[in-house]
């Protein structure tokens, strides 16, 4: 194989829509392997913080300890600085115990129902020892000297329900949140959903389209299950109104063939252009999820390069792969 051949690419990203929990962007000048790698890393390998250990002191609720611990683990926590934390297994400050300030955050919860009304225990009742790590749905200030003095009624939202208490029932616990990735457990995944699709290219044969009557044009447009095409009221021309709504179902192509107009439209995917839709659980912003995924992907490629260099010194390795990765 010609050693001068280079497979290096320079992908480009263009943001279409961005909110804290939502991001839509275009990824261009790359292939499906890179797009899928980015998607999988966002789902499974971008680290966040989640409750991983629960020590229950008092539980007289209707739910057993394991059920409550599981519910606590699934509460998304703000994880903006998760990339800077240590994994518990790699922490040398606590010898992997996972209970020090460098690799964990402690939460406490104590609730007791003393009235005849049902008491909802929610994520708003969790007290964190780190104001940077709190349940994402709780809009609360932890700047008070005594977090326990904060009034739960002052929160903007009620929080995620953990358990309901009746008179005399009590729940008291201590929980440890740690850094992790979705590949180990879904509770650490920052992604609600991550999808991508090929950008469709649609070409209408205008000459053949002109041979159709207005009724036939309308019938052909309506054969698409999504609103991709429309008939212009003034010119009576068929126009593409939303190419990205096309789901590669081939219905308009089948309709054209049934009308004896094969070749009326050509639709094919651009194999180097992808449209991503990213939704976050709120643990980190959707935009930060993409940035962190790129950082993780870069670290994985660096690891491959270092492994190759090590093998090359022993007379083996993937020298061609290394040449392709140089400069990436």
Lowest mean pLDDT among 4-13, 169-178, 194-203: 4-13
Q: What letter does residue 234 receive in the DSSP assignment?
A: T
Tens-place pLDDT, residues 99-108: 888 899 999 9
Taking only the tens place, the pLDDT of each residue in 110-166 is 999 999 999 999 999 999 999 999 999 885 444 344 545 445 444 445 789 999 999
Q: Tell whether the model's pLDDT for residue 179 goes beyond 80.
A: yes
Q: What is the pLDDT of residue 159?
A: 87
**pLDDT of the residue at 196:** 95
Bridge pairing between strands 191-204 and 238-240? unpaired
| Strand stretches in the chain, DSSP E | 12-19, 22-28, 48-59, 104-112, 119-122, 127-128, 161-165, 170-180, 191-204, 229-231, 238-240, 265-280
pLDDT single digits (tens) 282-323: 999 999 999 999 999 999 988 888 876 766 665 555 555 555
Work out the mean pLDDT of the chain and round it to a whole number.
87
The alpha carbon of residue 239 and the mean position of all alpha carbons in its chain are separated, in whole angstroms, by 34
* Residue 52 pLDDT exceeds 70: yes
Which of residues 66 and 151 earns the better pLDDT score? 66
What integer pLDDT is reported at residue 220 of this predicted model? 95
pLDDT at 303: 87
Percent of the chain at pLDDT exceeding 70: 85
What distance in Å separates the CA atoms of residue 322 and residue 119, rounded to the nearest whole number? Answer: 61
Over its C-alpha atoms, the chain yields an Rg (Å, rounded) of 27
Q: How confident is the model at residue 326 (pLDDT cuts 50, 70, 90)?
A: low
Position 140 scores a pLDDT of 42
CA distance 206 to 209: 5
Which whole number is the average pLDDT over 40-48?
96
In the predicted model, is pLDDT for residue 195 greater than 70?
yes
Instruction: Check pLDDT > 70 for residue 46.
Output: yes
Task: Please tell me the predicted confidence (pLDDT) of residue 167.
Answer: 95
């Amino acid at each position: 194989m010609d050693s001068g051949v280079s497979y290096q690419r320079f992908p480009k990203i263009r943001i279409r829509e961005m909110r804290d929990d939502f991001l839509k962007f275009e990824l261009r000048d790359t292939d499906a392997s890179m797009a899928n790698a980015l998607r999988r890393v966002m789902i499974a390998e971008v680290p966040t913080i989640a409750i991983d250990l629960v020590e229950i002191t008092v539980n007289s609720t209707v739910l057993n300890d394991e059920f409550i611990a599981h519910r606590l683990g699934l509460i998304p926590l703000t994880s903006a600085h998760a990339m800077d934390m240590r994994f518990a297994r790699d922490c040398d400050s606590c010898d992997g115990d996972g209970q020090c300030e460098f690799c964990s955050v402690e939460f406490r919860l104590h609730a007791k129902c003393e009235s005849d009304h049902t008491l909802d225990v929610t994520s708003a009742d969790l007290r964190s020892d780190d104001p940077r790590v709190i349940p994402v749905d709780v809009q609360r200030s932890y700047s008070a000297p005594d977090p326990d003095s904060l009034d739960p009624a002052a929160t903007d939202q009620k929080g995620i329900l953990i358990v309901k208490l009746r008179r005399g029932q009590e729940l008291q616990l201590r929980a440890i949140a740690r850094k992790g990735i979705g590949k180990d457990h879904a509770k650490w995944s920052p992604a609600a959903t991550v999808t991508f699709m090929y950008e469709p290219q649609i070409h209408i044969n205008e000459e053949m389209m002109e041979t159709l009557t207005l009724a036939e044009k309308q019938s052909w447009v309506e054969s698409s299950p999504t609103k991709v095409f429309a008939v212009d009221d003034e010119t009576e021309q068929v126009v593409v109104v939303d190419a990205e709504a096309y789901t590669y179902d081939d219905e308009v192509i089948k309709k054209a063939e049934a009308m004896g107009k094969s070749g009326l439209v050509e639709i094919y995917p651009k194999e180097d252009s992808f449209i991503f839709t990213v939704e976050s659980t709120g643990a980190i912003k959707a935009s930060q999820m993409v940035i962190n995924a790129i950082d993780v992907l870069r670290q994985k490629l660096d690891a491959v390069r270092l492994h190759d260099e090590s093998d090359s010194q022993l007379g083996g390795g993937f020298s061609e792969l290394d040449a392709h990765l140089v400069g990436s």
